[in-house]
Amino acid sequence: MKSAVKTALWLAGSITVAGAVIVPKLLATQHEAKPTGGASTTAVIGVKGDAKPRPSSGEGRSATAVPLKVSTMRVVAAPLVETISATGTLIATEGVELQAETNGRVTAIHFREGARVRKGELLVKLNDAELQATLVRSRYQLALAETREKRLAPLIQQGLVRQEDYDIALSELNVQRAQIELTQAQIAGTEIRAPFDGVVGLRYVSEGSFVSVNTRVATLQQLDQLKIDFAVPEKYAQRIRVGGPLRFSVDGATAPFSGRIYAYDPRIDAGTRSLQIRAITDNRDGRLLPGTFASIELVLDQVDDALVVPAVAVIPGLNEKTVFVVGADHKAERRAVETGTRSSTTVQILSGLKPGELLITSGLQNLRPGQAVLTDDDAGTPRAAAIANVSGVGTR
């Protein structure tokens, strides 16, 4: 009996002690879990997911809402001329060295150095006294041969002379005629005449000088037009056309000159892998001289209404090239473009852009589609200030 009472008292004491320990901890736990405004809401939102957390100050503004200051240009259609550069040499349209055809002494010089001469004009005369004497003798012999032939001609019809005698007389007549022609040709060889209209150069002989065959007496150049010889790499050969225009400059000239292609070699030079071209230019004012070095710009193509943009505005990609334009609401818009002629600083746009659009030319590294932009035209305007106030970004 006493044992049962002791057991009951022990159990009651244990329960009391346990309650004293557990109840305060439970109350403390409930006190900590009591809702306290936003923190509780955040926890509940995290569990239920039925609402989004309220952003803290400065958070929640999308990066695309922050305008990026960029440079722009208005896309316009303008003439485009595609050219390649080359170097060449000016040469006379016609040019020769005046030389003697026979040996002889110079008896007369009929030109002034640097003067214009006409085709056929006598320039230099060599001694032809011996040839003139030969010509006189041949003419006497010709007259004698003609007389003999005339005497025998009617007699042969009557059978009074042999046919053989008449044939000899006729042959002698023809020989004398040929001799006169030969002597006249030799006399012509003592005369140096202008083969075409042109400007005669410096002379290299004087009266009394003895010249031989191929001795250079002077030069003659036709300068009203000049040829331009140059070459281009073989990759441009298919784009060369007779009549194609070109521009060129020479040292000492303040303005460029123009010309046109009139011929080119029908083959590629195997040694240089280039195409030889010849152009022509007007030189009636005499400003250009043969032998001058020329820096040439050859026109390959010309487009009257091309869209040309800075090369830095075109972003190359694996499969396409793109640009950024200022779209609606002053936001960046990405465009795929097709490009054409390219230079070191510009690119022709064949498709993807239209005249009048505003092309972004700077800040492309940090630009994203849909991002608000602040253009050069906006800077300092009330609209720029409004954008800055809304976004928290000021203008400089």
d(CA 262, CA 204): 34
Give the pLDDT mean for 24-39.
41
167 falls in which pLDDT band (50, 70, 90)? confident
14 falls in which pLDDT band (50, 70, 90)? very low
Average pLDDT, the chain: 82
Around 247, how many Cα atoms within 13 Å sit in the side-chain half-sphere? 8
Which run of H or of E encompasses 183? helix 163-188
- CA triplet 8, 14, 16: central angle to 5 degrees? 105
Quick: pLDDT tens for 41-63. 333 333 334 444 444 444 444 54
Give residue 100's identity as a one-letter amino acid code.
Answer: A
Quick: pLDDT tens for 100-129. 999 999 999 999 999 999 999 999 999 999
Quick: pLDDT tens for 137-154. 999 999 999 998 888 888
From residue 366, alpha-carbon distances to 66, 152, 320, 373 in Å are 12, 115, 19, 11
Strand bridging mode 68-69 / 373-374: parallel
Q: What is the DSSP-derived secondary structure letter of residue 160?
A: -
Question: What are φ and ψ of residue 278, in 5° steps?
Answer: -130, 125
Has residue 207 got a pLDDT over 80?
A: yes
d(CA 162, CA 393): 129
- CA triplet 210, 214, 217: central angle to 5 degrees? 60
d(CA 167, CA 16): 175
Two structure tokens written together for 63: 């990066």
Quick: pLDDT tens for 291-312. 999 999 998 888 888 999 999 9
Class of domain 98-213: mainly alpha
Spatial neighbors of 43 by CB under 8 A, at least 6 apart, are none
**Any idea which fold 84-92+217-304 has?**
Elongation Factor Tu (Ef-tu); domain 3 (2.40.30)
Domain at 68-81+305-391, CATH from 3.40.50.920, 3.40.50.1700, 2.40.30.10, 2.40.420.20? 2.40.420.20
Helices in 300-355 by DSSP H: which ranges? none
Domain ranges for the chain: 68-81+305-391, 84-92+217-304, 98-213
First to last CA, the chain: 99
Share of the chain above pLDDT 70, in %: 79
342 falls in which pLDDT band (50, 70, 90)? confident
**How many other β-carbons are positioned within 10 Å of the β-carbon of residue 199?**
18
Which run of H or of E encompasses 60? none
Share of the chain above pLDDT 90, in %: 60
Two structure tokens written together for 349: 């746009």
Q: Considering the entire predicted model, what is its pTM?
A: 0.61
Q: What is the pLDDT of residue 10?
A: 46
